[in-house]
Amino acid sequence: DTEVTQTPKHLVMGMTNKKSLKCEQHMGHRAMYWYKQKAKKPPELMFVYSYEKLSINESVPSRFSPECPNSSLLNLHLHALQPEDSALYLCASSQDRRRGRDVIYGYTFGSGTRLTVV
Amino acid sequence: DQQVKQNSPSLSVQEGRISILNCDYTNSMFDYFLWYKKYPAEGPTFLISISSIKDKNEDGRFTVFLNKSAKHLSLHIVPSQPGDSAVYFCAASAYTPQGGSEKLVFGKGTKLTVNP
């Protein structure tokens, strides 16, 4: 299995709703990431989990809450979002490059969840 | 301040010809570079990468060249095919010894159109 699987593919939610995005990988990658991408912009990092611990939070508002239940799963809990939070949310995972510093390593993205906040 | 720059928003080439996509970076700590292809409303698909200890990496029709002194890399696609039409993102990473995770910094992308 060489994929990162994200569900749902599309999500429409109201500003008072609570929803969750899910991400799963079975490549044995120990780092997992959430990125956000707006139209015609590059992906921007939100959160990094390394060995199931949150290692980077790029000053993301608290209405976004990540969770890493185990080494294969990553969730993003959403609550009280704003219309400007509408975007493509991408999950990614990567190998630990220490294991082979000069080796081509995998940094794989899922197909994303298209989120619309109304 | 943009650390990874793709100065050409778009590029149009004829089928069968070479496509050359360019990327410049400013952070000398970057030691790994990746190219991704992206269609609208989909996640980036990994194409090819290169470590800073190398100056060239080839995979089929795709070759990436790295010029560390100029802080410049390029992606060559030969021969170009209509199915290559997409947005191409250059990304860079700086290895940090803790945690095993890496933050990718992306350029703004170049939209490649390959005409039949």
Section B73-85 average pLDDT: 97
Instruction: Write out the two tokens for A95.
Output: 């190998």
**Strand B10-14 to B110-115 pairing:** parallel
pLDDT of residue A97: 66
| DSSP letter assigned to residue A20 | E
Q: Averaged over A13-19, what is the pLDDT?
A: 94
Give tens-digit pLDDT for B33-67.
999 999 887 899 999 999 898 999 999 999 999 99
CB contact under 8 A, B43 and A102: no
The mean per-residue pLDDT over the stretch B74-100 comes to 89
pLDDT of the residue at A104: 53
pLDDT of A81 above 70:
yes
Q: Is the pLDDT of residue B4 over 80?
A: yes
Encode pLDDT of A26-41 as tens digits. Answer: 988 888 999 999 988 9
Contact call for residues A89 and A81 (beta carbons, < 8 A): no
Name every chain B residue with its beta carbon within 8 A of the beta carbon of A90: 43-44
Other CB atoms within a 10 A radius of the CB of residue B92 amount to 25
Closest residue in A to B43 (Cα–Cα): A111
Q: Give the burial string for B67-76 (b: 16+ CB within 10 Å, else e).
A: eeeebebbbb
**Residue B97 binned pLDDT confidence (cut-offs 50, 70, 90):** low
Dihedral angle sign, alpha carbons of residues A106, B5, B66, B63: positive
Tokens linked to B94: 């700086």
Q: Which amino acid is at A108?
A: T
| Mutation target among A9, A46, A55, A91 for the B interface, most CBs of B within 10 A | A55
Token pair recorded at residue B109? 């992308």
Select from B34, B53, B103 the Cβ nearest to the Cβ of A45. Answer: B103
| Structure-model confidence comparison of residues A64 and A41, the more confident one | A64
Asked whether the beta carbons of B5 and B107 are under 8 A apart, the reply is yes
Q: Do B102 and A104 touch (CB under 8 A)?
A: no
Lowest-confidence segment of A77-86, B4-13, B87-96 by average pLDDT: B87-96
Residues in chain A with CB shorter than 8 Å from the CB of B97 are 98
A58 is written with which tokens?
Answer: 């790029």
